Structures are given as C-alpha cells and as structure tokens.
Structure 1
Amino acid sequence: MNNLEIINGRSRSEELTELIHNLENKNFLDEDRNLNLREASERDFIEMFFFARVFVKGKEFSHHTKRAYRADAKTLLDYLAQNELSFSDIGYPEVKAYNEYISEKYAAKTAIRKLEFFRRLLDFGYDTKYYSAPLSRWIHKPSVKRGHYLNEENKNRVQLRELNQEDAERLIEFFPRVVRTKHKQKHLQQRNLLLGYLLYTTGLRASEIVNLNKGSFYYRRGELWVDVIGKGGKHREVPVREETEIELLRYLQIWEGKTEIDSSDETPLFYSLYNKEETRQRITYNHLYKIVKEAVRIAGVNEKISPHWFRHTFVTTMLENEVPLVDVKEWVGHSDISTTNLYLERVNKGKSYQRLKKVQLFENNR
C-alpha cells in the first residue's frame, strides 16, 4: 500500500468503500450513482450538507469559521423549531419569511453571512433532489456599507471600527495592567504587552497571532520577519518593526532565558498558565479577546473595541503614510486587492479637502 494513501490510519480505498456502503445502505444513490436525498431524513440531510459542502476533508478552516458555520446552522434550526417547520416544509414563503427575519434581526454583514449559509443549504438540497425547485433564487441579501463600520441605528453617520494612532498606542499601555495575579506577574505582563504590539504593528488577525510559534520568526538580511499561516492554510511573510522586535526579545528573555530568535523552535509563542505545576497551554482567541476587552474597560474607552480594530487601524495607518497598496495587501493577507482598496478610497477621500486647499484659484487675494 502506498504510504501517501494513508489518512488517519486508513487508505483512501477503505474510506471510499465505507462511504459507498453508507450511501447505498441509506438509498442515497440514484441509478446514475449520483447523490439523491429525496427520501432522506432531516438529520441525514443536514449531516450530508456539512459533509459534502461545508467541512470538506482536506480544506482547512479557522476556529472562527467553524464557529460561524455552527452558529448559522443553529440560527436556522432555532427559527424552524420556533415556527414548527421542518427542512422539507421550506418553500418560497418560508424562504422569504426567513430572509426578512434575518435581515431585520441582524446587522447587515452578519445577515449576509447567515443568508449565504442558507443559500448554500438550499442549493445543496436542490442539487440532491431534496428540494424540487431552486429556492435560493428568492434570497435577497441586505446591502452593506463599504468599509469597516459599527452599526449605529438611526444615525446618518457611522463610526469606523478602528483607532487613531494615539488611541491605539495609549490602549496598548493598559494590556499589562490586566494581569492581577502575583504569580509570574512580570512574565504575563510582558506577554500581554507583546500581544498588543503584534496586534497594532503587524495587522495580523487575532487567530493568527495566537497560533504563532517561537520559530515563526526569522531574520533575513538583518531584518526580522514572521511567517504567518492565514485563512485556508495560506502562508505569508510579514515584516516586524523594530519596536515589536525589542518587545519580542524581552519576552523570550523573561520566559525562556533566550537572548535571540530560534527559527527551529516549533513550540507555541504565547502561553496561558494553569495550576501550581505551571502547566502551559497555547493561548486561545477567547483569552486574547478577554485581554483586549479588559484593557478597554480599564482604559475607559469605547467598549465596542475588539482585537480586530487593531487590524483595521494598521491598514489605514500604513495607507495614510503612503505605503504601497500591494505591500499592505500582502502583509494583511487580503485575498483580493479590492478589499485593501476600500481603505485607500476612504483615506484619499479624507485628504481631498487638503488637496483642494493647495490649488490656487485666484491670482490675487480678495
């Protein structure tokens, strides 16, 4: 047997045999051996949807993506239960009613995501003959403002989900103050400070930061870079500013007694400490989120600030300082440059009045 065929201790042929057996046993294959769920139970339908269209084997998903899919599924299931509906009851009226319910209850971006989940489920149902008509055609997603904004009801103007440089730097000063325990206090304070520096100066997603290893950092021509695994398992390289490098080296000195970067060290960069034996576990997104929210509380600033605000702040700050669009796009890992360009459009609009004032329209002052 080819070793490359082994997956979790079983060969591909064994997995295929098991899949065929399960499908044939439940009569889920038609005469053309295509997936046919016309007679499937609701449980089988939703399980097959997640198996075939959501958590596809070999495709990597972040913790946030998995949590979002499950949340979207729960929203739909709760709605059906509250209205005494089953999946097989869904038709044009039910699609329109759910569409209206989601659009009214959730902010535009969340509603769009939940309706996209619903659309994919309906398309899967149509493809597998669970539904006899393409019901997803009746879904209409709400429009969303371009850029990154807070939802402010009954207001014509909206607040950006980002900080200015002064507020960002001030907030980071409160990260170490979150630590209240005396045990390893200096260690945890430096950990929190480094978390703040990485959020503010690299534009990394919070989930990317907590998954960093000590060996994720390396030097190239005397400059420090970090190798990041982003969405979909995609790698990218991000330069590390000198201020952050200093805090990183200080962190490694306090925690590990190291004075230099070891690019071969594959142990987690950030730890949480548990019990008196000092059991170390990789810090989680929820832990980082709580650190940021507690720093926000202590600082007495906008309570809606979250880790992601620092990412938006980084992009805007880079573009305001005329860092090339393509560089910023690569550093933050946007899959499409049009996403980064949304920030640039807003930055340019903010500078438009200053450019207007530089133009001399009258030869003589009046």
Structure 2
Amino acid sequence: MNHLEILNQAKKSDELQTFIQNLEINHFLDENRNLNLSNASERDFIELFFYSRIFIKGKELSKHTIRAYRGDAKTLLDFLSTHKLSFRDIGYPEVKVYNDYITEKYAAKTAVRKLEFFRRLLDFGFDTSYYSSPLSRWIHKPAVRRGHYLNEENKNRVQLRELTQEDAENLIDYFPKVVRTQTYRRHLQQRNLLLGYLLYTTGLRASEFVSLNKGSFYYRKGELWVDVIGKGRKHREVPVRVETEMELLRYLEMWEGSSEINPRDETPLFYSLYNKEETRQRITYNHLYKIVKEVVRIAGANQKISPHWFRHTFVTTMLENEVPLVDVKEWVGHSDISTTNIYLDRVNKGKSYQRLKKVSLFENKNSPSQEY
C-alpha cells in the first residue's frame, strides 16, 4: 500500500485507528510512538511533510497559497533534479548552494517565501529523524524592504506598487473600453466598470474579489456592506461607497432584470461568458488579471500594474485621508495592525515637510538669509 492510499484512508470514519495501523505497518513509529522516517522513501517523506505541516486538517488554505506551496516544492525538486540529488543527499553544502541559488534568482520577498518552505521541510526532516542534524540552521534569508515596492533590491529610490488617486480614477474609465465582443457588449462593459470600482474602493484581495457572490452584499441601516471571506476563511465586513453601490445596482439590473439585493443569493457576482450557448462561469483570477493588463495597455500606463496595486492604493488613500488605522486594518483584513502601520509610517513621512513649513522659525526676522 503506497502512502497516498494511507492518507486517503486516514480521512475515513475510523481515522485515528486506520492512520496508526498504516504508520505501524510502514515502520514510521519509533519505540516512543513518535514519527520516525529514518527509513522512509522520498515519496513517503514529502507526502507526510505536506500532510503534517502544510495541509493541516481544519486549516483552510486559499488557492493562491496552495499554488505558492506547490511552486516552492517544484523549485526545490527542479534544483535537486538538475544536480542529480535526492532528498537524502541534502547536507550543509546543498543547503548553502540552494540558499545562494534562490537568493540570486528571485526577488527578496519571493526568496524569503521559498527559503521558508525549505526551512520547514528540513525541520520536519530533523524532527522525524529523516535528517540526523538540524540543517535549517544554515539557511540565511535575504533582508526584505518594508512596504510594497517594485524593486526590492534597489535601496535608493524605488517605485511603490500603488497608484495615485488621479491615476486610479483615470484607469477606471478604461475598464469598459477593453470589451471587444458585440455579444452582450453593454453587459460586459458594465461588469468591467463595476470591477474597476470595487477594486479601487474596497481594497479586496484578488482571490476575495473573484469569490464574491450576489448574496455577499447586504444593507444595514440603509448602508451597503459586503461580506468578504478572507485568508483562513475569516469573514469580515467592508462598507461599500455610494458610487460603487450605484454601479452594482446598474449591473444587477442589466444582468438580472432587478437591482434587488438578496443576501441569500449564492450565485457568482462576476461571470465570464463561454461558447455559443453563452454559458456563465465564475470569473477567475487569470481573467481579472488579463482585464487589468489590457486596461493598463490601452491607457498607456505602467505595464507592471496588476490587480493588487489597487489594494495598496486603497490602503494608502484611506490613511492619507485620516481614516483611523484600526478601521483600515479591519476593512482590508490585515491580521496584524503592524502591517497596516507600514503604510501609515510612509504616509506620515510624506506629510512631514508640509508640517515643517507650517512652523514659524523666523518670526522676528525679515529674511533668514541676511548678510553680515
């Protein structure tokens, strides 16, 4: 019985007993009933690592996070394959070379994530006796510049991955213009316009955005809110501006024949249309990404702009307009207020010169540059 079958059986009703039996059959328990993989195959090792440290039962991961983990695993596997190495061959030299390889090839934030995945795998290997020493001690992650930048390696002037309010508002006007098809042209133009408004005025992550249903919206005391499912399946409530509400109601009227908000409606908010039968399918991140990229192209804007830039823009715009830090944190779903505070530190620094100008330092002199 291979380990994939073990994992599948472990999910059945007699989960614990079945799992224990299969671990014993494969000799994966030592005399203290601790997980011991000293004699495990590479396949058993990597599958148990994912089962025990990544895909933990009760901890839901987003599609983006799962895709990132798989990408990190593939990077490591490709490196091992290129150098004709196995997991068993990993020691200090291999850790050092892989560390250098990742640091040189990837931007700092990506390198940190990939090296963190590697560290967790090595720690799991040491904890289960697959490795005889704590190899993760030799991992050294690159320093990451605080904030959201295009070029993390340039320590001088860098461009933020966000838009000015003027640029964001200008880009929204181009969202309807990317529609080329004549079929349901006005419907798709209104859909795209609503996409732009929601991106700019809610600060949602792209994964949260494409997961919205028509029933995600509801009224409370006459004000429209949207219920968002964020990271870790955590719910949060985000207020919807009146301008965006109007575009939403026009969209619903155009597509559904009614602008009524029904919180029980679980159908997707945004559709893509496919084939001659005009089959509706929930919009994907890739589709959203392509729409934004096409908007950027025809607007002649920075080609590096992506949907996530609008999220950064929202946070900065709110803080520049003195919305309380705690409100912004809740709206965008930051787990730690220190993340939101990164933006506030930069906003305050940007206003520091204006504060300096307001201070009178030469009240009794006609000019600070008198000659003596």
Instruction: Using structure 1 for the length normalisation, give the TM-score.
Output: 0.95
**For 1:166-181, what aligned pairs fall within 5 Å after superposition?**
166-181=166-181
Count, aligned residues: 359
**8 Å contact from structure 2 (residues 107, 152) kept in 1:** no
When the two chains are superposed, the root-mean-square deviation of aligned CA atoms in Å is 1.6
Structure 1 residue matching 2:53: 3-state secondary structure: helix
* Cα distance in 2 between the residues matched to 1:154 and 1:253: 49
Q: Deviations over 1:36-56 (max 9, x none)?
A: 111111111111111111111
Residue 159 of structure 2 corresponds to residue 159 of structure 1: yes
* Cα distance in 2 between the residues matched to 1:259 and 1:273: 21
Q: Deviations over 1:9-59 (max 9, x none)?
A: 998642223322322222111122211111111111111111111111221
Aligned to 1:219: 219
**8 Å contact from structure 2 (residues 10, 18) kept in 1:** no
* Cα distance in 1 between the residues matched to 2:293 and 2:86: 40
Aligned to 2:234: 234
- Relative distance call for 1:154 and 1:227 in structure 2 (3 A) is closer
Q: AA paired with 1:365?
A: N
Q: Deviations over 1:53-108 (max 9, x none)?
A: 11112211111101100000000001111111111111111111111111111000
- Relative distance call for 1:10 and 1:89 in structure 2 (3 A) is closer
**8 Å contact from structure 2 (residues 108, 152) kept in 1:** no
Aligned to 2:91: 91
**8 Å contact from structure 2 (residues 108, 153) kept in 1:** no
Farther-moved stretch of structure 1 (65-74 vs 91-100): 91-100
Q: Deviations over 1:246-286 (max 9, x none)?
A: 00000000100112211111111111111122211111111
Aligned to 1:138: 138
Q: AA paired with 2:366?
A: N
* Cα distance in 1 between the residues matched to 2:119 and 2:153: 27
Structure 1 residue runs of 5 or longer lacking an equivalent are 1-7
Structure 1 residue matching 2:273: 3-state secondary structure: strand
**For 1:254-293, what aligned pairs fall within 5 Å after superposition?**
254-293=254-293
Q: Post-superposition, which runs of at least 4 consecutive aligned residues in structure 1 deviate over 6 A?
A: 8-11
- Relative distance call for 1:153 and 1:119 in structure 2 (3 A) is closer
- Relative distance call for 1:338 and 1:98 in structure 2 (3 A) is same
Aligned to 1:80: 80
**8 Å contact from structure 2 (residues 145, 152) kept in 1:** no
Structure 2 residue matching 1:265: 3-state secondary structure: coil
**8 Å contact from structure 2 (residues 9, 18) kept in 1:** no
* Cα distance in 2 between the residues matched to 1:107 and 1:359: 42
* Cα distance in 2 between the residues matched to 1:10 and 1:265: 35
**For 1:303-322, what aligned pairs fall within 5 Å after superposition?**
303-322=303-322
Structure 1 residue matching 2:14: 3-state secondary structure: helix
Farther-moved stretch of structure 1 (275-284 vs 140-149): 275-284
Structure 1 residue matching 2:334: 3-state secondary structure: coil
* Cα distance in 2 between the residues matched to 1:166 and 1:97: 46
**8 Å contact from structure 2 (residues 9, 19) kept in 1:** no
Residue 105 of structure 2 corresponds to residue 105 of structure 1: yes
Q: CA deviation at 1:307?
A: 0.3
Q: AA paired with 1:343?
A: Y
* Cα distance in 2 between the residues matched to 1:45 and 1:10: 16
Aligned to 1:199: 199
Q: Deviations over 1:185-239 (max 9, x none)?
A: 1111111111111110000001101101111101111100000000000000000
- Relative distance call for 1:313 and 1:137 in structure 2 (3 A) is same
Residue 25 of structure 2 corresponds to residue 61 of structure 1: no
Farther-moved stretch of structure 1 (223-232 vs 171-180): 171-180
* Cα distance in 1 between the residues matched to 2:30 and 2:125: 15
* Cα distance in 2 between the residues matched to 1:10 and 1:338: 39
- Relative distance call for 1:238 and 1:321 in structure 2 (3 A) is same
Structure 2 residue matching 1:359: 3-state secondary structure: coil
* Cα distance in 2 between the residues matched to 1:51 and 1:200: 38
Structure 2 residue matching 1:132: 3-state secondary structure: coil
Farther-moved stretch of structure 1 (339-348 vs 189-198): 189-198
**For 1:337-356, what aligned pairs fall within 5 Å after superposition?**
337-356=337-356
* Cα distance in 2 between the residues matched to 1:18 and 1:88: 28
Q: Deviations over 1:320-348 (max 9, x none)?
A: 00000000000000000000000000000
- Relative distance call for 1:234 and 1:194 in structure 2 (3 A) is same
Instruction: Using structure 2 for the length normalisation, give the TM-score.
Output: 0.94
Name the % identity. Answer: 81
Farther-moved stretch of structure 1 (258-267 vs 119-128): 258-267
Aligned to 2:330: 330
Aligned to 1:210: 210
Structure 2 residue runs of 5 or longer lacking an equivalent are 1-7, 368-372
Q: AA paired with 1:165?
A: Q
Aligned to 1:125: 125
